Structure 1
Amino acid sequence: MIRRVPRLPALLRRSALLLVLALASAPALAAPPTDGDINRLLSASRAQSMLDTMLPQIEAMQRQQFEQIAAQRKLDAQQQEQLQRIQARTSQTLRQALSWQQLRPMYVDLYKKTFSKEDVLAMAEFYESSAGQSLLDKTPALMQNVMVAIQARMQPLFADLQKDLDVIVNEPEKK
């Protein structure tokens, strides 16, 4: 008598084969972007020009900090000269550390770690489109408007804080 073997093992083999194929194709679906893909995105999104625009702003903040340091202390001519040399050296170090030549490899590495090839290509296509270019063109104005709106919103809060500080400062000492 011939005994029929249930079809379950064949079904299991097919299921296992499908599972192996699915797992093998998963990395292909989430393939990492190439350096070329990322360079395309960085170019389309104007990453270098945005960095170049930020650098003078960072330097201006640094100058303000040095001016505050100088204003808080009475510096003689020699100390002022030393402070200016430190400021110039700090500015030069900042420019070197934040140069595109130094940061581009970091950007490429971080984009590789963060985004899939599909993500990078989709973003590059968007930034290459007229809508993406319009976004890039209008982002500085948007950021300026956001800062003005935030300052307007914060003004009453700072006024309240100033009142609280005045009360504390003008409060007679308790003995």
Structure 2
Amino acid sequence: MKVIKYLICGLICCSANFSFAAPAKPQDVEKLISVMNLNQLIQDTLKQIRPQLDQQAYVIVQSVVKHENLSPQEQVIANQLADKLYTQSQKMLAWDKLKPVYSKIYGDVFSAEEVKAQIDFYSSSVGQSILQKTPLVAQESMKIMNDQLNSVMQTSQQDFEDIAKQLNELKKKAN
């Protein structure tokens, strides 16, 4: 009988931790998204990464033409590619598509208490300052990622050339 009492008491204690994490109300999540000015933050971040898209397009065209410096005509093509990448990014990051996604994520991940704490923080001047600097953080992160991707692309290109040579040698031996 004592074991059952202890078991019930233990279960109540364990479930108490879960009962305090009340889910966030949709209107509170909406307020958080508004206070964070998430739509503008995403658009500012997109503008900040435009130079990286330009660089990425340049590298892609370089890898196709297989030389370092692009001719003026090749640069025009790289610019067109960068414009297409930017337009695709704008479409992917359109607020009407992202808002329901962010609402769901914030509602699923954060408790009511956490959403309230974020609303309080991001409503402060320090919170707003951090939000305004977030696109710069994204831009700097993209620079690092692009450098890494460029390195991977160069290594991969060499790997593909090596594989192509090996395959051609096998083909010659088979003939």
Selected match of 1:116 from 93, 102, 111: 111
Structure 1: gaps (5+ residues): 1-8, 148-175
Displacement, 1:122?
0.9
Give the equivalent residue in structure 1 for 2:44: 53
**What secondary structure, in the 3-state scheme, does the structure 2 residue paired with 1:41 have?**
helix
Displacement, 1:45?
1.9
Aligned letter for 2:97? Q
The alignment status of 1:103 with 2:98, answered yes or no, reads: yes
Deviations 1:132-156 (A, max 9, x none): 335445x36985xxx6xxxxxxxxx
Selected match of 1:127 from 122, 130, 138: 122
Displacement, 1:17?
5.0
Structure 2: gaps (5+ residues): 141-175
Please give the residue correspondences for 1:131-170 in structure 2 after superposition, counting only pairs within 5 Å.
Answer: 131-136=126-131, 139=133
**What secondary structure, in the 3-state scheme, does the structure 2 residue paired with 1:90 have?**
helix
Aligned letter for 1:119? E
CA distance in 2, matches of 1:63, 1:85: 9
The alignment status of 1:89 with 2:84, answered yes or no, reads: yes
Task: Tell me the TM-score normalized by structure 2.
Answer: 0.56
Selected match of 1:36 from 12, 27, 39: 27
1:21/1:132 CA distance change after superposition, 3 Å: same
User: How many percent of aligned residue pairs carry the same amino acid?
Assistant: 25
CA distance in 1, matches of 2:104, 2:80: 35
Displacement, 1:54?
0.9
CA distance in 1, matches of 2:59, 2:48: 17
1:102/1:63 CA distance change after superposition, 3 Å: same
Task: Please say which structure displays the higher CA radius of gyration.
Answer: 1
**What secondary structure, in the 3-state scheme, does the structure 2 residue paired with 1:31 have?**
coil
